[in-house]
Amino acid sequence: MASAFVGSAALGAALEQAFKLLYKTVIDVTKQTIAFKPILERLKSTLDVLDPLVKDIQRFNKELDRPENETKDLIEQMKKGEKLVRKYSKLPWWKNCMRCHYANKLCKLEEALLRFFDVNAQALSLRNGMETMKGVKYLCNQMSLVGMNDELNCTVPRPPDFIVGLDVSMKELKLHLQKEELPILLLAGPGGCGKTTLVKMLCQDEEIKGKYMDNIFFVCVTKSTNLKVIVRSLFLHKGYQVPEFQTDEAAIIQLEHFLNEIRGKTPVLLILDDVWYGSESLLEKFMFRIPDYKILVTSRTAFPRVSYSYNLKPLSEEYSMILFRHSAFLEEGSSDIPDEEVVKKVVKLCGGFPLALRVIGRSLCGEPAVTWRNRVKDWSSDHSILDYNSKLLECLKSSLEFSNKKVKSQYEVIMKECFMDLGSFPEDQRIRVAALIDMWADLYKLDEDSTLANLLEISARNLASLVVSRKDASEVGSYLSEDFVLQHDLLRELAIHESSQETIYRRKKLIVEVTANNLPKWWTALKQQPISAHLLSISTDEMFSSSWCNIQAPEVEVLVLNFQTKKYTLPKFVENMDKLKALIVTNYGFFPAELSDFHLLASVPYLKKIRLEKVSIHSLCKTPVKLMSLEKISLFMCNVGQIFRNCTIPISDCLPNLREINIDYCYDLVELPLDLCDIVGLEKLSITNCHMLSALPEGIGKLRNLKVLRLRSCTDLSALPESTRGLHSLSILDISGCLGISKLPKHIGELCNLTELNIDGCMRLRYPLPQSTMDLNKLKLVICDEERAMLWEPIKEFFEHDTQLEIKVAKRDINLNWLTNRF
């Protein structure tokens, strides 16, 4: 009972004063009188029991600020009791008859005191206990709403004690943060590259601290964090009472009032750290038209609608070495320092990622040199650096979560598959967009637009970098031959790691890297099992001698062969790949290499696409190969001049179902074979950057199904044949950069389905346009330079109003993107 009452804390200071007075009076009277002494002593004993309770009441009353009216009756009883005891002590002897009356009153006083503490106090205890529970519940709700954990603590965390290589980035980011026209900035980069560290450095800058003072908020945004949680955490950080709001809209209204109130004369900087893919709508809700209010976002994803994005690159080799040495405690003069070359190899494997350098450095700290050498050996062969570091792996893998849904959509699944496919190409090498188009068309049924959309998404998430060599003014027929993708070495490791979770024989993507002639053990095993891969990539170095062992790959649909030797032989096992649909062969050596055993492809029944890069395929003329199912052939930087000379079988017989030909940067191409014009099913002919090509076959007009004719930058080409008039299905004609063409065909108007014409850079084209140009009723877009645009002015008015012909002057796009070869 006593503890329950104390716990209720329902009382006041007046109670203690009244109790003290009563207690003192009882003691005094007990000492002075002998009559009815047992009654007074019993009352004193009762008061002795209640004394500590009254003291606790006084103490809790001060702490909890409870009202005194809850014990008002008890206080009055004690005051009356004190007066009663005093009257009893002064009663004269001749009034003995009254003593019994007073004794009864003293007994009733004792009963009243006990009754209060037995009944009233319990009721108060119950009532106040319920109030306490209500308060506790409110506090618990508040705590759960804001998390009460480090993630929602809006204080800027301290940066690491040792930082290198971010000073320039910090100055550049600070400069952009100070621009008034940029209310929101995005700091983007792959996971583990140092974005959060850079922001922490920025907040430690004296100028930034002096400007924003206490109005810097740092919020780590997780996948599960919602808007209301963030808003509540901002209120709590400033010590404000958290208002009640049930919806996001109500939270936004309260937040805007809050920001306006705290801003005063001090600007506000809100940092949203590690914002995930798909959260762009969340960012927009924090954007208010409030003066001196800035938002700085860090993310692995680029958000297109953010006004400015700063991309953080990995550390340089010099800074990587400094950070790694610090993490591995490689001090000069220590006997534990491994060979310098070994250290450089480990640092290279980390790829300039600060997280990787710290994690790998700490894992090797104190290890003997032999352990270092063994790790490098493992990481350079079948094992990945990610296999040894779960923290680094989890950090990078989180970038592959395209949503927080447990059940992934088909789009998300394909997106991740596309990312993993990038590991099929050698490290530090360009991955041609055109090659990916050929791969993904068969693996995932993606067309050009879908492929580009996926690459833009992957690039936006900083999982790779899409490099567009030059902008194309075309709105219909995009030119992708020179565009490529770069992938960071560590992200390539992640792609390969994710592709290698099953056993060799059960993987859907099998990526094999061969050093010299050291084939993997599973490949050379006597009882080799068939592999189930749909994508097979084999990369060999300059020491490989084309000594192939057999492999059973009945399910392979896409075969990627990467090599560096001067001569290369197609693997014999290719002829048994019954489901092969796309073959991509790339030479990463400096000069074109001789490709042999091309005849093996004749036995592949469903081969639809062949892409060859930097190879010489003269053997095709010696032993012509009939590829009955081939629909598309792409030749990039190949020696092809001899292919079309002295062939014993017409090309139309070898490739009867060909639909698309792409020939780019093939410098020895002088002419096209006449019988090429007999492939009547051809729909796209693209010959670009072939400077020795001087003329097209006169019979080109026979290609009645041709829809796209692209002759970009064929500088020696002097004219289009008059038979071009027969291309009635042609919708896109691109002769941009053809410096030798001085006039358009006289009967160009017979191209009745032409919708797009690109004559940009045709510097010699100065003659008036042919009269028949006015018959191009379906022409929608003409791309040209300013001088050529003037040629269209006299006849543009003759086009029907509903045609809406657009004359677009191409902007000069001078850049050095084609030199880029790093992520």
Handedness of CA 119, 125, 131, 134 (dihedral sign): negative
CATH number belonging to domain 671-823: 3.80.10.10
Residue type, 669: L
Region 802-813: mean pLDDT is 76
Contact present, 202 and 405 (Cβ < 8 Å): no
Residue 342 pLDDT level (bands cut at 50, 70, 90): confident
Tokens representing residue 98 in the block: 């009254």
Q: What angle do CA 503, 509, 515 make, to 5 degrees?
A: 85
CATH number belonging to domain 410-469+482-489: 1.10.10.10
Region 554-580: mean pLDDT is 93
The pLDDT of residue 141: 47
The pLDDT of residue 5: 36
Residue 409 sits at φ, ψ, to 5 deg, of -75, 165
Residue 150 pLDDT level (bands cut at 50, 70, 90): very low
Q: Which ranges of 581-682 does DSSP label H, i.e. alpha helix?
A: 619-622, 651-654
**Most distant CA pair in the chain: distance in Å?**
155
Task: Give the CB-side neighbour count of residue 424, counting CA atoms within 13 A.
Answer: 28
CATH number belonging to domain 502-669: 3.80.10
Q: Is the pLDDT of residue 143 over 50?
A: no
Q: Is the pLDDT of residue 407 over 90?
A: no
Q: What is the DSSP string of 338-356?
A: --HHHHHHHHHHHTT-HHH
Q: What's the chain's length in residues? A: 823
The pLDDT of residue 21: 75
Which range, 35-39, 177-181, 617-621, is most confident?
177-181
The pLDDT of residue 604: 93
CATH class label, 317-395: mainly alpha
Residues 209-235 pLDDT 10s = 888 888 899 888 866 667 888 888 888
Centroid of chain to Cα 198: 18
Residues 529-556 pLDDT 10s = 899 999 999 999 888 987 888 899 999 9
Region 516-527: mean pLDDT is 83
Region 278-299: mean pLDDT is 84
Residue 728 sits at φ, ψ, to 5 deg, of -75, -15
The pLDDT of residue 700: 93
CATH class label, 150-311: alpha beta
Q: Is the pLDDT of residue 621 over 90?
A: no
Alpha carbon distance 10, 661 (integer Å) = 92
Percent of the chain scoring above 90 in pLDDT: 24
Handedness of CA 235, 239, 240, 244 (dihedral sign): positive
Alpha carbon distance 275, 461 (integer Å) = 11
Residue 724 pLDDT level (bands cut at 50, 70, 90): very high
Residue 369 pLDDT level (bands cut at 50, 70, 90): confident
User: In the chain, what is the straight-line distance between the N-terminal and C-terminal CA atoms, in Å?
Assistant: 74
Same fold, 502-669 and 671-823: yes
699 vs 49: which has the higher pLDDT: 699
Domain ranges of the chain: 2-146, 150-311, 317-395, 410-469+482-489, 502-669, 671-823
Contacts 24+ apart (CB under 8 A), 95-101: 99/35, 99/36
Region 270-298: mean pLDDT is 84
Count other C-beta atoms under 10 Å from residue 82's C-beta.
20
